[in-house]
Amino acid sequence: MQKIEFELREGEEHIQLIQLLKATNVAYNGAEAQGMVSDGFVLRNGVVELRKRAKIVSGDVITIADYEITVK
């Protein structure tokens, strides 16, 4: 499994899930990211996350396929 650490920008408290998938290059574009979420492939802290615009905060762990993204 490829582990990715993503650090929120200074002053930001969250990032939307589909934006995170694009920013970490797990998804090539927004449409692909939305499809991954809609199809139930994305786990947030071990639970399926179906909200495309879910607010991902520091401490969250996003798992999809062979990727594990830890948000700092």
Total domains, the chain? 1
Would you state the pLDDT for residue 20?
97
CA distance 12 to 30: 21
Q: Which helix (H) or strand (E) holds 18?
A: helix 17-23
Q: What's 40's domain CATH number?
A: 3.10.290.10
The CA distances from residue 44 to 10, 37, 61, in Å, are 22, 11, 6
- The answer to whether the predicted template modeling score (pTM) of the entire model surpasses 0.85 is yes
State which residues form the domain around 63: 2-71
Q: What is the pLDDT of residues 19-63, one digit of tens each?
A: 999 999 999 999 999 999 999 999 999 999 999 999 999 999 999
Would you state the pLDDT for residue 4?
97
